[in-house]
Each structure stands twice: as structure tokens, then as C-alpha cells.
Structure 1
Amino acid sequence: MTTDNWLADTRTSYDTVAVSYNDQARDAIGGDPHRRAALEVFADRVKAAGGGPVADLGCGPGHVTAHLRRLGVDAFGIDLFPGMIAVARYDHPDLHFEVGSMTDLHLSDASVAGLLAWWPLIHIPDDEAPTVFAHCRRVLRLGGPLQLGFHVGDTTQLETQHYGGHPMTVYVHRRQPDQVASWLCGAGFEIEVQWLCSPDDHVPQASLFARRSS
């Protein structure tokens, strides 16, 4: 199994399913009290650190970005997929969204007060993860919070169809929280809390709450 073309394949795949993805994910926050609680904790941490702009990395169609704004956070969205950004701009014309990659964030040093990355990590190969977290540290202010969401496991799976039966070519990486925490600590973050969500599900999920410590 090779992931050499993962960036281009993932971009093409999610551009293809952007509208269907939006339809399926539209009520994900409203229907999950645990996700809402995680976002409330994140918003409170941003405010406690003095506030400021917050980047929602892998924002997709913008549902979470919009929810953060309702919580009083100055959030904007960044996503790899132009199709997703087009949907986000259409649904949330009052918010700012831009195309960008976690592997090469075009944000200034220490320019954001917080970073949220719910589930884009599942498509990042292991050898790219240190680069991603180095960029996160660079753009985040000292003491600023970072919250990650990801799938828990020890496997990599190729998905060729999803979101209404559309063809895709995307690799889904499942990691153990300790592995993700190790990457974060190596990049200059301090882990504050780990949440394991739905541990009995076929694909458990986890959230890590961290802050830039150096």
C-alpha cells in the first residue's frame, strides 16, 4: 500500500463529495452533546488566554467554524479542498474561509490564539505528522490551545467510495492517543486532557487538548 500521491488524491476525492458531505454532516454538532462540550472547553481556553483569531484547520463546509463563532470565538476556516471551501463560503457568507494545507500553513508566526483540527489528521501520513505539528507550533501563540480530533486504532485503510456512493481514493489512518501525544510533545506542546469518545464503536474517536508550551 502506497500513499505517495495522498495529497492530490485526497483533494480530488473531497472536492468530488463536497456537497454530499455537507448534507450528511450538517447536524453533526447539534446532535452530539460531547462534541459541543469539547468546543465549549476550547472556546473557554481561547478566551482565558486573551482571545484573538482562531484557525479551524480542515474546516470542511464550515459547520464547526460557525459554531465557534456562536461561542464568541473569532474563528476562520482553512481546508485543503477548494470544493469544501466553496460550500463553506456559500453557507456562511459572513465568515472567512481559505484554501490551505496543514503541511504548509501560510500563516504568520504566532498569529493565531488557538487551533482546532477535528479529524483532518486521519488523512495525514505518519511521516508528515511532525511537519504538521511543527507548523501548528509556529503559527500558534505561546500558551495558546490546540484541540485535535482523530480516529483511534492501529490501521491504515484505503477508502474508494463514500458519502453517497461517490468514488474516492483516500487513506484513513487510525492512531493511538499516545502516538499523537508523542508527536505533539515533540513539537513543543503540553498535553492537558485526553478524551476517548465512544470506545465501544467500530471506529472509536479521541480528542486531545494541548497548549503551546515553548
Structure 2
Amino acid sequence: MTTNDWLADTRTSYDTVAVNYAVQVRDAIAGHQYLRAALGLFADSVRAAGGGPVADVGCGPGHVTAHLHELGVDAFGIDLSPRMIDAARRDHPGLRFEVGSMTNLDLPAASVAGLIAWQSLIHVPDDEVPTVFRHFHRALRPGGPLQLLFHVGDESQVKTQGYGGHPMKIHVHRRQPDQVATWLSDAGFEVEAQMLLNPDQEASQAFLFARRKPYR
């Protein structure tokens, strides 16, 4: 499958489910103390690094972007799906959202003070992840924090239905934190911490807290 194929499938799928997805995740952060804690830690890291604009890459309907804004972070969102961006602008007027792809991140070099990507890397094939991390590294200021949230595992599946029963065609890649940490290190990041959510359950997720090395 070419990059254009899986990107087109992902874009179309999330365009289809955008309205239902926005409803489903609207209160997800408020109801999960560990998600709130992770975002609070990220916001503190951005401030400790000097503050500035923060990119929420794969922002979906903007719930993470909005929560960061409530924490005093100058956050803006980027998503592959135009319908998701429409939902984000509708639900969070006054915040900045734009259509874009993490595989070709259209941000100037060293232009963001922090970057966050929650459950968006899961749709990127293994051979494309290093390219994505190079884009993240280029866009981040030296010393800027990066936070990832992704599904843990060793398999990839094709999701054909979801979020209100609508048809989808997206690949969902589960990965081990150590593998993702290696890719980050190769791209010029220093991994500072890992955290597992629901480690004893099949639907485990992982946070990685990293920082662009200031000397590279």
C-alpha cells in the first residue's frame, strides 16, 4: 500500500465518522484522571521550556487542543480529515485548527514550543514512522517536549466499522513502547518517561514523554 492509499483511506474514514466521533470523545478527558494528569504534565513542560505555540497533531475534533488551552497553553490543532477540522472549529470557536498531515508537516523549522500526538500515530505504517518523527523534530524548538499516546501490542488490524456504525477502512497499528522509543531516539529525541494505561488489559495504551535534544 502506498502512502497516498492509506492516507486517502484514513481521511475518508474520519470524514465519515467525524460527527459521531466528536460526540464520543467530548467528555473523555474529563472522565479520566490519568489523561488529565498527562496533559497537565505536558503543559508544565511547555512552560518550563519557555512557552510558545504548541501543535496538537492528529487533533480530531479538538478536545485535546481545547483542554490544553484551558491549561493556559497556546495550542492549535492539525488533522488529516477536513470534516474533523470542521467539527473542531464548530465545538471550539476561537481556537486555531487546520487541515494537514503528519507525514508532510507544514510547519516552519523550530516553530513550536511543544508537540502532542494522541492516538494519531496508530494509523501510520511502521516504515513511515521515522519520517513522521523527523518532521516532529524539525518543527520543535530545541528542548521542546513531545508527548505521544498510542495502543500497545504487536499486531495491526483493519478497522471496517466504528463510531455510530459507519463504514471505515483504516489500519490500526499496536506497538511496543520500546520500539517507539527507539524510533524517537534515532530521530533526535530523548525519551524521559513511559506510562502504561490498563497494563493488564488487552486494550492497553502507552504514553511516551520525550524532548527534542537541545544539541542536535
Structure-2 residue corresponding to 1:41: 41
Structure-2 residue corresponding to 1:70: 70
Task: After superposition, give the CA deviation of every residue in 1:112-137 in whole Å (9 maximum; x if it has no partner).
Answer: 00000001010000010000000000
Judge conservation of contact 1:60–1:85 (CA < 8 Å) in 2: yes
Task: After superposition, give the CA deviation of every residue in 1:91-147 in whole Å (9 maximum; x if it has no partner).
Answer: 111100000000001000000000000010100000100000000000000000000
Distance of aligned partners of 1:198 and 1:3 in 2 relative to their CA distance in 1, 3 Å threshold: farther
Task: After superposition, give the CA deviation of every residue in 1:4-61 in whole Å (9 maximum; x if it has no partner).
Answer: 6110000000000000001111110000000000000000000000000000001000
Structure-2 residue corresponding to 1:185: 185
What SS does the aligned partner of 2:148 have? Answer: strand
Distance of aligned partners of 1:3 and 1:195 in 2 relative to their CA distance in 1, 3 Å threshold: farther
Structure-2 residue corresponding to 1:92: 92
Give the whole-Å Cα distance in 1 for the aligned partners of 2:91 and 2:120. 21
Taking the TM superposition and a 5 Å limit, the aligned residue runs for 1:63-142 are 63-142=63-142
What SS does the aligned partner of 2:112 have? Answer: coil
Matched residue type, 1:151: H
What SS does the aligned partner of 1:147 have? Answer: strand
How large is the Cα RMSD of the aligned pairs? Answer: 0.8
Structure 1 unaligned blocks of 5 or more: none
Structure-2 residue corresponding to 1:24: 24
Give the TM-score normalised by the residue count of structure 2. 0.97
Structure-1 residue corresponding to 2:169: 169
| Mapped pair 1:205 → 2:205 | yes
| Displacement of 1:201 | 2.1
Structure-2 residue corresponding to 1:56: 56
Give the whole-Å Cα distance in 1 for the aligned partners of 2:175 and 2:91. 32
Give the whole-Å Cα distance in 1 for the aligned partners of 2:98 and 2:79. 7
The count of aligned residue pairs is 213
Give the whole-Å Cα distance in 2 for the aligned partners of 1:71 and 1:3. 39
What SS does the aligned partner of 2:68 have? Answer: helix
Matched residue type, 1:200: D
| Displacement of 1:166 | 0.3
Task: After superposition, give the CA deviation of every residue in 1:149-180 in whole Å (9 maximum; x if it has no partner).
Answer: 00000000001001111000000000000000
Give the whole-Å Cα distance in 2 for the aligned partners of 1:199 and 1:189. 25
Taking the TM superposition and a 5 Å limit, the aligned residue runs for 1:138-153 are 138-153=138-153
Q: Segments of 4+ in structure 1 off by > 2 A?
A: none
Judge conservation of contact 1:3–1:125 (CA < 8 Å) in 2: no
Matched residue type, 1:149: L
Judge conservation of contact 1:49–1:144 (CA < 8 Å) in 2: yes
What SS does the aligned partner of 2:102 have? Answer: coil
Matched residue type, 1:136: F
Matched residue type, 1:10: T
Give the whole-Å Cα distance in 1 for the aligned partners of 2:2 and 2:152. 19
| Displacement of 1:203 | 1.5
